[in-house]
Chains A and B, each alone.
Chain A
Amino acid sequence: MSDRMLTMAQALREAMSIAMDERPEVFILGEDIGIYGGAFGVTGDLYHRYGKERVRDTPISELGIVGAAVGAALSGMRPIVEIQFSDFTAQAMDQIVNQAAKIHFMVGGGLNVPLVLRAASGSGTGAAAQHSQSLEGWFANVPGLKVVIPSSPYEAKGLLLSAIDDPNPVIFMEHKLLYKIPGREEVPEGGYRIPLGVSRVLREGKDLTVVATGIMVFKAIAAAQELEKEGVALTVIDPRTISPLDMDPVYESVEKTGRLMVVQEAPEHGGFLNEVIAKVATGPSLGSLIAPVVRLAGMNIPIPYAPQLEKAAVPQVPDIVKAARNVVANWR
């Protein structure tokens, strides 16, 4: 295995290191990101390399640190806030939703907030209902925020560098199970950028278009590999950013396959990928559909604790395989 098969935690750290080398105004702040190295080890040794000013440990004070980041971003800095668990953004919601997202618009464009808020998201670690949510849909429903969901180390590094370059607030949702999994492709050295708002078609197949985000991209590809053996061919599309959302590859693919499936870990009710379905239903490729749209999402429940309950609460690879097989067999 090549030494560039990094984990997502390593790739994110590399991106932040490159950004701090490139721009003196970039700094990181958050809880336990200094000597401790971050609750999930993402900041790692950055504290020792860049010092306590630029890798700034904060008190447990989410509203305060996001607000301070907003003020610093308004005044020439480019802060990266790490929120230990995305669930804690609820503590900082005023600064994210009422301040960061709206300032540029409300004041007529004279001010802008180049802020990145990284947050560990998703279930699978047994941390239960207050440490396991997938809240990207909240932020996607707030105009003024960009929302990024990396699905692999390669994507994470390139997207984070673009997020740091961006003059607007960017919410960066990192699935905690992906931190330690090596990616499916090498992570290039140096500061490559992946533009925000460009979907990626990861594989093409004629039978079904699957749109998935975050860890569900990983699961959808595993499902596609399994189905390939039975002759069912899946197209897998990772939007990478859900705000802005690049729908063109989805329309193009649905025109070819005539079938659409969306997969997300967040609860189904009001979930973001419903937006993808709505856009297909109101967009140019509706007339190509030969099957009802299939929706796989988390159950409409808080994430439970026990491992078997936790697993049952969100879509797994066999669920994707089964649903894909059925829709292709039943609708021709």
Chain B
Amino acid sequence: MMTSALITGHPLGSKANARYALLTMSRIRKFEEAVEDLFGRGMVHGTMHLSIGQEASPTGVCMALNITDQITSTHRGHGHCIAKGADLTRMVAELLGKEIGYGGGRGGSMHIADVETGNLGANGIVAGGIPIAVGAALASQMMNKGTVAVSFFGDGAMNEGAFHEAANLAAIWKLPVILACENNKYGMSSSIELAFAIDHLSERGLAYGIPGVTLDGNDVSAVYEATEVAVKRARAGEGPTLLEFVTYRWKGHSRSDKNLYRTKEEIDEWKKKDPILYFEHVVREKALLTDAEIAEIHKLATDQVIAAVNEAMKAAPADPAGLLDAVFKKVSA
């Protein structure tokens, strides 16, 4: 069921689109490296979950969406946020607990949402965002908005009741929702072999009458193409699609992970399937981008992330004075 990139005639076959895809993946990679460094220096409170190695799925999915389309994300959500168009400075600021951060320092890494780009938020609860995306799709259907909702979730979420209840509702009501499973092979330390008795997680779609597809989640072109098909189905009122993107996280689950449950060889093997290097290889082969252009794109992403970190560092820390007023939205008269 693995598909491969069909770059010729593909939407990513244009120079501009290829450039955008590479820039987005690079921005995610550089952002994750930057916040990892800040965490290592004790400047980020709490913990965080890095998506290095998984940059292709958020990039490919979000390129197939409009800004008015909505997403729900996960604890490993920096990539979804960036791919949907969030401001890097406000993201770093949130991790540093600053007033200008997306949540004003009240949410941190696991709770960044961005109304302007249709991001309904990352989520600290595994599978927590799936029913919410289904509800967003219900609103789209009831209000004839023509928008699509995508729920990103990991392999672990597919064993939560919330996935099953949400998938069923999406199917019976033919909602414009895409269930985007990023199967990175481990739910914290439990491998999919321990947690599932099926070969492909996309098979679960069958149980609800939802088409399910398994793809190479490190091939941004394949992700994009599959998402486009699912978006078309959704907008045409044909209902939900389950997409399984097979990928791998290079880093531990969170910062205190010793990788006792997997081997160095396995990690090294997946590093060879780096989605960024793979896409660079493809665009070089197809002469879409030159080496100089590729280097320039990475430089741009690096500069943007450094600028964001420097600006966020200078911002004022979040102020406890406003906390009590932040719990409820004011009732307008």
Asked if A and B touch directly (CB within 8 angstroms), the answer is yes
CB pair B106 A75 closer than 8 Å: no
Smallest CB separation, B36 vs chain A (Å):
23
In the bound complex, residues from chain B placing their C-beta under 8 Å from that of A98 are 124-125, 128
Smallest CB separation, A8 vs chain B (Å):
24
Q: Determine whether A37 belongs to the interface, using a CB cutoff of 8 Å to chain B.
A: no
In residues 56-99 of chain A, which contact B (Cβ within 8 Å)? 58-59, 61, 63-77, 79, 94-95, 98-99
In the bound complex, residues from chain B placing their C-beta under 8 Å from that of A61 are 165, 168-169
Q: Determine whether B142 belongs to the interface, using a CB cutoff of 8 Å to chain A.
A: yes
Interface residues on A, range: 35 or more
Kindly specify which of B109-117, B231-239, B241-249, B296-304 makes contact with the partner chain. B109-117
CB pair A71 B136 closer than 8 Å: yes
A111-B327 contact in complex given A59-B168, A72-B135, C-beta closer than 8 Å: no
CB pair B120 A168 closer than 8 Å: no
CB pair B135 A168 closer than 8 Å: no
CB pair A72 B327 closer than 8 Å: no
User: How far is it, in angstroms, between the C-alpha of A165 and the C-alpha of B149 when the chains are bound?
Assistant: 26
CB pair B165 A71 closer than 8 Å: no
Kindly specify which of B23-31, B96-104, B178-186 makes contact with the partner chain. B96-104
In the bound complex, residues from chain B placing their C-beta under 8 Å from that of A109 are 104, 326, 329
In residues 160-178 of chain B, which contact A (Cβ within 8 Å)? 161-162, 165-166, 168-169, 172
Q: From B325, which residue of chain A is reached at the shortest CB distance?
A: A109
Q: How many residues of B contact A (CB 8 A)?
A: 48
CB pair B143 A104 closer than 8 Å: no
CB pair B113 A168 closer than 8 Å: no
Q: For A67, give its contact among B101, B165, B172 (CB under 8 Å).
A: B165
CB pair B331 A165 closer than 8 Å: yes
Q: Determine whether A103 belongs to the interface, using a CB cutoff of 8 Å to chain B.
A: yes
User: How far is it, in angstroms, between the C-alpha of A166 and the C-alpha of B328 when the chains are bound?
Assistant: 10
Smallest CB separation, A115 vs chain B (Å):
10
A111-B169 contact in complex given A64-B134, A106-B103, C-beta closer than 8 Å: no
User: How far is it, in angstroms, between the C-alpha of A112 and the C-alpha of B124 when the chains are bound?
Assistant: 18
A108-B125 contact in complex given A64-B131, A76-B139, A99-B132, C-beta closer than 8 Å: no
Dominant secondary structure at the B interface: mixed
Q: Chain B 119-133 against A: per-residue CB contact (8 Å), 1 yes, 0 no?
A: 011011100101111
Q: Determine whether B158 belongs to the interface, using a CB cutoff of 8 Å to chain A.
A: no
In the bound complex, residues from chain A placing their C-beta under 8 Å from that of B107 are 105-108
A71-B134 contact in complex given A111-B113, A144-B328, C-beta closer than 8 Å: yes
User: How far is it, in angstroms, between the C-alpha of A71 and the C-alpha of B112 when the chains are bound?
Assistant: 16
Q: Determine whether B138 belongs to the interface, using a CB cutoff of 8 Å to chain A.
A: yes
CB pair A72 B162 closer than 8 Å: no
In the bound complex, residues from chain B placing their C-beta under 8 Å from that of A248 are none
- How many A-B pairs have beta carbons closer than 8 Å: the answer is 154
User: How far is it, in angstroms, between the C-alpha of A110 and the C-alpha of B169 when the chains are bound?
Assistant: 27
Q: From B332, which residue of chain A is reached at the shortest CB distance?
A: A167
In the bound complex, residues from chain A placing their C-beta under 8 Å from that of B132 are 67-68, 70-71, 74, 95, 99
- Residue among A27, A110, A168, A196 facing the most chain B CB atoms (10 A cut-off): A110
User: How far is it, in angstroms, between the C-alpha of A25 and the C-alpha of B145 when the chains are bound?
Assistant: 13
CB pair A143 B143 closer than 8 Å: no
CB pair A144 B327 closer than 8 Å: yes
Q: For B130, give its contact among A59, A67, A77, A166 (CB under 8 Å).
A: A67
Q: Determine whether A118 belongs to the interface, using a CB cutoff of 8 Å to chain B.
A: no
Q: Determine whether B214 belongs to the interface, using a CB cutoff of 8 Å to chain A.
A: no
Smallest CB separation, B179 vs chain A (Å):
13
Smallest CB separation, A111 vs chain B (Å):
6
Smallest CB separation, B99 vs chain A (Å):
9
Q: Determine whether B140 belongs to the interface, using a CB cutoff of 8 Å to chain A.
A: yes
- Residue among B145, B165, B168, B331 facing the most chain A CB atoms (10 A cut-off): B165
Sample of 28 A–B contacts (CB below 8 Å): A59-B165, A63-B131, A63-B165, A64-B134, A67-B130, A67-B131, A67-B134, A67-B162, A67-B165, A68-B132, A68-B138, A72-B135, A75-B120, A75-B149, A76-B139, A77-B142, A94-B162, A95-B162, A99-B123, A103-B113, A103-B121, A105-B326, A105-B327, A106-B106, A107-B103, A109-B326, A109-B329, A167-B329
**Other A-B pairs, 7, CB within 8 Å; known A75-B139, A108-B107:** A71-B136, A76-B145, A103-B113, A108-B101, A108-B326, A109-B329, A111-B121
